[in-house]
Structure 1
C-alpha cells in the first residue's frame, strides 16, 4: 500500500484514511524519510508503559487506565500549531503537553462515561499524564478556550477519535474505584511512569519512524514487540530476586537480628542503630534481600551523605550485589561525578557473563535522573531528596525509587533541620507509593528517630542501643551490650594545638599511625606544616583539593591506613570531617578538635577500628585514647571561650553544642560502645538538655532560631503531597530548591598554560572535571580572580552550555602555584588563601 500526503489529509490508494494519522509526532530524521505520526508515538509509549507497569501489580482495571492515560500523554501534538512547528518551523504559543490537558478536559465526558470515573480524580490523573516533561501543566480552567481554538476544530475532532480508539484498545480500563485522595497520590507517580516510557518510546533506535498506514490495533501489536526489547536493552526489565545467602561468614548480632525479625505486611520502615564498624551495611543488605523476597521492592537505592561515601559504598557493595539477584542486575552510580569513577565506567555495558556480574546500560548511564530507574542505585542522598522537592523531573525520581528498598546510610548526617524536613517528606512520598525503607545510623537522636518512624505511622520510645526498630512496632533490643575487643575509649583533653603537635610527634616516634581531625581546612593546613617542620611525616586530606589530588590522597590513605594498609608506622594524617564516614581507616592514636558529640563518636570509629587485623598486643600504644583539643568547659569567661583554642575551627559548629559535648564527655571520661552511646548522644543532641553558661546563651538562642528557620525553610520548599501534582508540584531548576543548605560555594577549574592554549590542571580524558576545586564564595569574592573574558578562557568555555560557563570559574595556575593575589594552589596542601581568614 502507498500512503501519500494530499493537502491536510492522508489518503491511501485513492481512499481517505483516518485523519488523525496526518498529525506528526516527530519530524522526519532526513529528507525523504517519513514523519512518525503522533498517534503511533503515543502507542509506542503506551506499549513501553505496559512493560514498565506490569511488576507493580495494580488491579487490572487501574493498570489499563494508567496505560491508557500514558498513551494519551501527547494528545496535544494533534494540533495546528505543533504540526506547523514541525513542518514549517512555526512558533507554538502553548506547549503541546499543556494542550494535552486541554484536549483531554474537552473530551472529559467521554472519559468519565467509559472509565466510570468521577471528575475530581480524573482531572488529577489527566494533569499528571500531561505533565511528563518535568512540570505540571499551568493553565487554569478559564485559560482552556484560547488554546483550544488555536489547536483547530479538525484537531479537536481527530483527538476525540483517538481517545475513543484508545479506550477500545484497553477495554477493561476503569477508574471507578479511585478516590480523589488516591488519585492525588497516584498523580505524583504517574508522570514518572510517563516520562520513563516516553524517553524509551522516543528512541528511534528502538522505535523507528513509520509512515502512516497500519491501523492502530495492528500498529500496537508491533509496538509491543519493540517495547519488550527496548525495555530490556534500556536495563529496566527487572531482574529476579536471589535466594542464596549473601554472606558466608558468621553473622554479627545486628546482622542476625535482620535475618530473623518478623516482617510486617505492606510498606515498612526499619531503623538500624549500632556503633561504627558493627557491620550495619551488611545487616541492611540482609534485611533488604528478605524485604525484596517478601515483595516489598524489586531493587535497592543506597543513599549516602557525600559523593566520597557513595564511591566507597559502590566499591564495597559491588561484590555482593550480584548475589542479591538470580540474574544480572543493572547498577548505577548516581551523583554529579559518577563519570570519574573507573569502577563505574568499567560496568557500563559490561557483558553479562556470570551470575555475579553487574552491568549498567549506556541508556541508564547517560543521565543522573535515569540512574534511579536501575535495579540498584548507589548515590548521594541528594538524588533521592530531589524527588520530594519541586524540581524538574522529581516525579521520575519518585517513580524510580517507588520500586526500590530505599537505604539511607549515615542518616544522622541528614539530621540538620532543613535536610531532615526534606527527608521526612521523601519518606511519606515513598510510603504513599508502597515503598519501603531502611535507615542506618550510629548516632541518631531519639526525637529525630521518632519523627522519621512517624512517616510510616510508627513510633518507638525504647531507648535501648543497639536496636533494630520497625515502623510496625517490632523492636529488637536484645542485642549484646558488651564492648568489643577495642574496649572503652578513654578521653583526654589537650589545652592547645601546640600540645597536639607535641603528642603526635611523640606517638609517631613510637611507631604509631596517628590522625588529627581538624574542624577547619586552614587549621588542618597549619597543623601539617607544623608537623613537617618538626620532622614528622604528615599527610593532609581535606575538601579544598582539586579532585585529581583528592582522589590520589584518598587512595594513598587507604593503602597506608586502611584495613590491609602497609607502611603506616610513624605516619600522621591531618584531615577534616571528610574522614568521619567516607573512608575505612584505622589509627592507633587520634586527636580531634572539639566537635559536637555525634561527630566525635563518628571520628572515634576510626580509632582502633580493625581489631581482627591489628589486635591490642600488636599496637604501639597500650590502649585507645581520644585526645580532644578543647578549652576547659568549667572556665567559660566569655563568648570567646572556644575561639582562643580552636581559632578558625571554632566557627564550624554551634558553641552551645560544643560546650555541652565538652562538659559531658570530659566528666564521663570515656566512650563505651555500644552501651554508652545513647547517653552520650542524648546529652548533647537530645530533647531535654541542661542549661549552658550565661556567656553562651546568645549562641544557643542563635542556634535554636537558625534551626527553626532552616526546618521551616525545608517544609516551605517540599512538594505539597496533599494537593496532588498539578497544584503541589510546580517544578523549578534543581539549584532553586537545594537538597541541603550551606554557605555559598564557587567551583574553580584549575588550568595550565600549554601548547595551543589552556589545558586542564589534571591529565587524562576527564581532565577538566578532575581539575575542579570548591571554595567559599565569601572568601573568593574578596580576591581578584582571573577575568573570565580573557581570550584563552573564553576559548576553553566556547563549547560549554550556558549554565556551566556561568557556574565554573577557570583559574590558570602559574608554575609557582599562584592563581591571583592572595590565592594559590599546592598539590600537597590544596587551595591556599594568603589573605586573612574571613568567616564562611
Structure 2
C-alpha cells in the first residue's frame, strides 16, 4: 500500500477531500519548527524533537483508526496508544538516525504519543525487552494490521526530512525533564496544525518534501495568526514617572546566570508591580524568558492586574504583544472581551487573538498572561493537559503576586513544586509580597539555590546573589498607623456612625459574610446608609457594587464624604481603595497589614490636611489577649468570624499588635510578622495550645495530601502524568462550594437574575456558598417544569454541580434561604 492512502481526518461531507495522516503529521511538524525555534536547543536535539512531534500521529496509519474513521468501528486502542506501540516496533528504523540510549528514546516516544492531554498507560513493556513483548503490545500491532509496512515507510521518510536529528548525549535526567515539556509542545502544534482555517484538506499527490515546504509556508502565518509568533524584547522605557526606591533597585540589580529567582518585599502601595515589570523586562532582554505570566491569588485580583498590565506590557516586545486573562470567569471580563473584540488601538497596545481567547488552557501560550495562581498550579497536578500548561509557562518569567497568601501547607507545597518544575525547564520567577515570613522566603529561595537570613525590609533578594539589597526604611507621608482595640461590635457601629457624620470615608472589614451582613443591618438600624461587599453576591450584583465602591472611594473616587462600606477579605487586595477610618475584625497579622494598606492610602491625592480625621487609626475588634479563659477566647467578640483563622495566629497577632500599638511601614513590618508567622512565634496561653497542636496536625495532613497529588517529576510524564478532571485534584483545600443560578419569574417563565446581559446573563446570575450549608436546605426541585425548561440544555456536569433557584419577589429561595441585591445570599437560620 501507499502511505498516503491512510486518512488523518474525516471529511466533513462526502464532497470534501480526506486529509492524509502523513500530511497532517507534516503540518504539525512544520508548526512545531516555528514554536520550538526560540527555545535555543542545539540543532541536532531540536531536529530530533521536531521529528518525534511529526510522528505523533503515526498510529493513524492503522486498520483500527481507518475503520473507525470511515465505518465507525469501535477501537480497542486509541490512535495515540498505537503511536507508542509503533515507535517501539520501529525503533530499529529510528536508531540509525537519532541514536541515543533506549530509555531516553522510550521516554520521548511516550511524550509525543501523549499529546491529547494524557500519557499512554498501556503495558507496552520497554525498548530493553524487545524479545518478550507484552500482551498489550502484541494486541496493538494486531490493531495496526496492514498499516505496519506503510508506517515503517513513513518513519524512514520523516527521518530523511530531518537528517540532522540526533539524541546522542541526551541523559536520563534531561530526557525526564523533556518528557513533561514535549507533550505540551506537541499539543500546541497539533491544535494549530489541525485547524482547517490554516491547514485545509489536501488530496494525496505531492511528495513529502514538497508538501513539507508548503506546510512550512503556511505554518509561519498560522503561528502568527494564532498569536504565538514570539517577538523580541524591546529595550525601551516602560514608565514615564520617577522611580520609587524598589523600582530603582529592580532597574539596576545585577542579574545572575541561568534561571533566576527574585523576591520583592515592600509595603502595600509601594509600586511592587511596576518594580517587577522593570526587572522582568531586563530578564527578557537577557534571554531569561520570552514572555510573562502574572499569577494572582483570586479572580478579582487577576482582573485588577489585567487592567493594569494592559496599559504597559504592549511596550515589552517589538511587535503587538498578545495578552490573555486566565481564570474560570475570564469570558465575563469586559476589559478582556474589549481587548479580544476591538484589537490594539496603537503600535504599543497589547492584543489577543481569537484562537488564544477560545480556551483558558491556551492563555498560558500568549506573550503575557494574567490569571489566578491556580492556572499555573495545574501544571504540577496530574490533570488533563497539565503538560500543555507546563510548556506554556516554561518560556515565561513567572511573576507571583501576594505570595504570602500561598503559605498555607497545601498550596505552599504546590507552589514549591511549581517553582522546581519551572526551574528544571530553565524558567525564571519573581515573587512579590508585603508580609512574607523569613522561613517561607528561605524555603522558596532554596529551590533556586539561594540562601538569605537577612531581616532587612524592604528588600530585593536574588537567589544566588551575595546579599539582598536593603532599601530605605523611611516612612511615607501617611506615617505610622496607630492601633486601637474595640471590645464590642456596638462600639464599632458607634465609631463608624460618628465618623461618617463628620464626612469620613469609612470601612469595616469582617472575617465572615454572615457577620458582614449583621454589621450592615446594625448600621442601617442606626440610620447609616452603609454599603456591603462580599463573595456571596450574584456576579452581576458584585460587579455593580464594586463599580459603585470604586467610583466613591477608589483612587480617583468622587463623593467619598460619609461613605460607609462593610466588606470581607475581598477588600484586602483586589480593589485599590482609600479610607479615612477603618475598623477590622481581628485577623492574622499579615491580613491586618494588608487591610491597613487601604487606610490613608493615596496621600499624594488626599494629604493629611484634607482628611476629616487627624491621623490614621486601625480599630481592631478583638478580645483582650491578656484575659484568656478557654479556647473559645475569640468567640465572645466575633461570631462566625472566630472560626475563619487559626486561633493561635489570632492570639499572637493581638498580643503583639496591642503591645506595639502601631503599624509603622515599612520599618516596623518585619517585627510584626515574625512573632506571629515566623520562627520567632511566642508561647501561647496553655488553654490555646491544644488548638495549635490540632492545627499543626491538619497542616501536616495537608502537606501529605499535596505530596500525593503533585506529579512525581522524577518519574517522567508516562509514569507520573494522568488525565484526571481538574476537580479531582484541587489547587486549594477548603470546604466544597455549591453554585446557585438565580432566576426571576417574568411573563410566565424563568429569566436570568442578571437581566438583559446577552449570552452572559445566566453566568452573571451565579452565586456560590458552602455545599454542606446549602444541601441541608430544601432547595428548589430541579425536576419542576419551569426549571427543567431552562436546564434541559445544560451539560451533565453542570446539572450535577449547579442548582437553578427562582427568587420570589420578597427574596425567598426556600425555607432558610433568601437573596437580596443589596445584602447578597442570606441564610435565615444563621447556622
1:133 counterpart residue number: 116
Deviation at 1:266, TM superposition (A): 1.1
Contact 1:48 1:228 in 2 (8 A): yes
1:119 counterpart residue number: 102
Count of matched residue pairs: 820
2:821 counterpart (827, 830, 840): 827
1:789 counterpart (767, 783, 788): 783
2:8 counterpart residue number: 25
Contact 1:303 1:310 in 2 (8 A): yes
Contact 1:326 1:355 in 2 (8 A): no
1:401 counterpart residue number: 393
Secondary structure of 1:506's counterpart equals helix
The equivalences for 1:50-449 within 5 A come to 50-140=33-123, 141=125, 142-449=134-441
Consecutive unaligned residues of structure 1, counting only runs of 5 or more, are 1-8, 10-18
Counterpart CA distance in 2 for 1:389 and 1:622 is 51
Contact 2:572 2:594 in 1 (8 A): yes
2:795 counterpart (792, 801, 808): 801
Deviation at 1:688, TM superposition (A): 3.3
1:773 counterpart (742, 767, 774): 767
Deviation at 1:75, TM superposition (A): 0.5
Counterpart CA distance in 1 for 2:492 and 2:726 is 43
Deviation at 1:474, TM superposition (A): 4.3
Secondary structure of 2:311's counterpart equals helix
Aligned-residue Cα RMSD (Å) equals 1.1
Q: For residues 625-675 of structure 1, what are the alpha-carbon distances to aligned partners after superposition, in whole Å with 9 as ceiling and x for unaligned?
A: 111000000000111110000011100011111001101110111111111
Counterpart CA distance in 1 for 2:639 and 2:176 is 52
Distance 1:596 1:578, change over 3 A: same
The equivalences for 1:617-656 within 5 A come to 617-656=609-648
Q: For residues 325-383 of structure 1, what are the alpha-carbon distances to aligned partners after superposition, in whole Å with 9 as ceiling and x for unaligned?
A: 22211111111111111111111154455222211111100100001001111111111
Secondary structure of 1:570's counterpart equals coil
The equivalences for 1:706-721 within 5 A come to 706-721=698-713
Contact 1:334 1:371 in 2 (8 A): yes
Counterpart CA distance in 2 for 1:474 and 1:756 is 72
2:697 counterpart residue number: 705
Secondary structure of 2:566's counterpart equals strand
Secondary structure of 2:734's counterpart equals coil
Contact 2:479 2:664 in 1 (8 A): yes
Bigger drift between 283-292 and 457-466 goes to 457-466
2:32 counterpart residue number: 49
Secondary structure of 1:549's counterpart equals helix
2:131 counterpart residue number: none
Contact 1:319 1:356 in 2 (8 A): no
Distance 1:625 1:351, change over 3 A: closer
Contact 2:82 2:141 in 1 (8 A): no
1:682 counterpart residue number: 674
Q: Calculate the TM-score normalised by the size of structure 2.
A: 0.98
2:484 counterpart (473, 489, 492): 492
Secondary structure of 2:312's counterpart equals helix
Secondary structure of 1:539's counterpart equals strand
1:513 counterpart residue number: 505
Contact 1:234 1:364 in 2 (8 A): yes
Q: For residues 29-78 of structure 1, what are the alpha-carbon distances to aligned partners after superposition, in whole Å with 9 as ceiling and x for unaligned?
A: 21121111111100000000000000111000010000001000000111
Deviation at 1:472, TM superposition (A): 1.9
Deviation at 1:793, TM superposition (A): 1.7
Counterpart CA distance in 2 for 1:521 and 1:276 is 24
Contact 1:112 1:119 in 2 (8 A): no
Q: For residues 665-687 of structure 1, what are the alpha-carbon distances to aligned partners after superposition, in whole Å with 9 as ceiling and x for unaligned?
A: 10111111111111111110012
Q: For residues 744-790 of structure 1, what are the alpha-carbon distances to aligned partners after superposition, in whole Å with 9 as ceiling and x for unaligned?
A: 11010001122362111002111001000010111112100011111
1:754 counterpart residue number: 746
Contact 1:536 1:571 in 2 (8 A): no
1:16 counterpart residue number: none
Deviation at 1:575, TM superposition (A): 0.5
Contact 1:746 1:777 in 2 (8 A): yes
Bigger drift between 319-328 and 204-213 goes to 319-328
Secondary structure of 1:578's counterpart equals helix
Counterpart CA distance in 2 for 1:90 and 1:153 is 15
Secondary structure of 2:637's counterpart equals helix
Secondary structure of 1:372's counterpart equals helix
Distance 1:152 1:647, change over 3 A: closer
Q: For residues 264-314 of structure 1, what are the alpha-carbon distances to aligned partners after superposition, in whole Å with 9 as ceiling and x for unaligned?
A: 111101100000000000000000000001111111111100000011111
Bigger drift between 219-228 and 316-325 goes to 316-325
Q: For residues 513-542 of structure 1, what are the alpha-carbon distances to aligned partners after superposition, in whole Å with 9 as ceiling and x for unaligned?
A: 111000010110010111111111211000
Distance 1:482 1:143, change over 3 A: farther
Secondary structure of 1:246's counterpart equals coil
Contact 2:249 2:469 in 1 (8 A): no
Distance 1:233 1:474, change over 3 A: farther
Secondary structure of 2:565's counterpart equals strand
Counterpart CA distance in 1 for 2:624 and 2:241 is 46
Deviation at 1:705, TM superposition (A): 0.7
Distance 1:474 1:277, change over 3 A: farther
2:664 counterpart residue number: 672
Consecutive unaligned residues of structure 2, counting only runs of 5 or more, are 126-133
1:659 counterpart (647, 651, 658): 651
Bigger drift between 786-795 and 370-379 goes to 786-795
Secondary structure of 1:643's counterpart equals coil
Bigger drift between 314-323 and 541-550 goes to 314-323
Counterpart CA distance in 2 for 1:739 and 1:459 is 28
Secondary structure of 2:470's counterpart equals coil
Contact 2:554 2:576 in 1 (8 A): yes
Contact 2:423 2:448 in 1 (8 A): yes
Q: For residues 692-744 of structure 1, what are the alpha-carbon distances to aligned partners after superposition, in whole Å with 9 as ceiling and x for unaligned?
A: 11111121011111111111211211111111111111221100111101111
1:589 counterpart (581, 598, 612): 581
1:15 counterpart residue number: none
2:22 counterpart residue number: 39
1:13 counterpart residue number: none
Secondary structure of 2:659's counterpart equals helix
Counterpart CA distance in 1 for 2:122 and 2:250 is 50
Counterpart CA distance in 1 for 2:11 and 2:145 is 25
Counterpart CA distance in 1 for 2:343 and 2:664 is 48
Secondary structure of 2:365's counterpart equals coil
Q: For residues 523-576 of structure 1, what are the alpha-carbon distances to aligned partners after superposition, in whole Å with 9 as ceiling and x for unaligned?
A: 100101111111112110000000000000111111111111111111111000
Deviation at 1:316, TM superposition (A): 1.4
Counterpart CA distance in 1 for 2:215 and 2:414 is 40
